[in-house]
Structure 1
Amino acid sequence: MTADDLLKRSRQLLDTARYLNLATASEQGEPWVATLEYAWFAAPLRFVFGSATGSRHSLHVQTRPQVSGSLFNAGRHESVADLASVDGAQFTGRCTEVPPDRLDTYYAQFYATVFPDTNQRAEWQLPPSLLRHPAPHRLYLVEVDRWWLIDTRTWAEDRIDRRIEVPAAHLER
């Protein structure tokens, strides 16, 4: 599999996975995983998600911004796993609130991605004023530093689950 193939697979996964799983840890090291809707941004790879400031993962990133996570597509057939259409990735990165002066950079694409239907978006999209202090919601930014895809090359032979690293800086839309 070439580097271009891995980048193409990465973009396909980023475009089609509906949720990401974000793993955080408290100041005391207690782990937590949250399943979140997201929008992705390229060069370098970033994720944006919305959340309440009082949620466990939001509180965790205030004191420990280092995170990890995964995205996964289970395939198209509900009753039987279609291994040809299964794909996934794992990542590590740093998560922070989107600063108020950068909200315009991410706001429109985040809501267009999460609510592609304009009627749903009109119903659920928070105005920018409700994503700034003292409001209880924010957009959060994960700056990805490492990205791995499921390495499917040898699964059929030995059933060992492997990963292959793809340079996150090279992912483009």
Structure 2
Amino acid sequence: MTSVEPGATPDELAARTLRLLDGTRYLTLATSSPSGDPWSAALHYEWQPDPLRLLFCSSHRTRHGADIAANAQVAGSLFVTGAATDVAIAPVEGAQFTGGCAEVPEDELARTHGYFFETVFPDPEVRAEWALPLEAFGPPGVHRLYRITVDRWWLIDLRTWAEDKIDRRVEMPLSALAGAGAR
């Protein structure tokens, strides 16, 4: 359900979104098989602005890779929780999204590969140890870089949760992120 967060401007929702995108490292990706069987996968991601895109690395042989090849429409979520470990429910900030997902095209692969691994592993020594070489991507290799182009984005409606503990979302217009820079 989409609700309106009174007093929350698109700029405020965009600021929350940027903090969330910069403060999380993993997303949960939901796909479905050609026969409609659902699947979810936790994936390390990076993001790009204008339009909002989420990048991740995986094998095309995974279940979600096969699902994406058959049906590009995906959904997902990302969230951060408070540091409290001794309580049943900790403060949470999160988002859900829908979009189209595809392998990064070959003519964009070198640039996107550099961006992805330099952002995931900003320390050159760590990157040298963990980043996959460009040659591992695309045929005949099994690794792929995927790009989700987000078409809708919802945030947790923090105001209503505080009032009645009903889990609602507020949709943020993607145009509110225009001009935002990636991390």
Structure 1 residues 124 and 95, CA gap change in structure 2 (3 angstroms): same
Matches of 1:147 and 1:92, distance apart in 2 = 7
Give matches, 1:119-158, under 5 Å. Answer: 119-158=125-164
TM superposition score normalised by structure 2: 0.89
- Tell me which residue corresponds to 1:2: 9
- Tell me which residue corresponds to 1:96: 102
Q: Cα deviation per residue 1:12-71 (whole Å; 9 max; x = unaligned)?
A: 000011100000000100000000000100011000100011000000000101000000
Structure 1 gap segments, 5+ residues each: none
Alignment-mate amino acid for residue 121 of structure 1 = R
Match status 1:77 vs 2:122: no
Match status 1:32 vs 2:32: no
Kept in 1, the 8 Å contact 2:31–2:38? The answer is: yes
Structure 2 gap segments, 5+ residues each: 1-7
Count of equivalent residues? 171
Matches of 1:170 and 1:58, distance apart in 2 = 31
Match status 1:159 vs 2:170: no
Q: Give the 3-state SS of the residue equivalent to 1:73 in structure 2.
A: strand
Using the aligned pairs only, state the percent identity: 51
Query: Which of 98, 112, 116 is the matching residue for 1:106?
Result: 112
Q: Cα deviation per residue 1:125-157 (whole Å; 9 max; x = unaligned)?
A: 112111121111010010000000001012121
> Structure 1 segments of 4 or more deviating over 6 A?
none
RMSD: 1.3
- Tell me which residue corresponds to 2:28: 21
Q: Give the 3-state SS of the residue equivalent to 1:146 in structure 2.
A: strand
TM superposition score normalised by structure 1: 0.94
Kept in 2, the 8 Å contact 1:38–1:113? The answer is: no
Structure 1 residues 115-124 or 20-29, which shifts more? 115-124
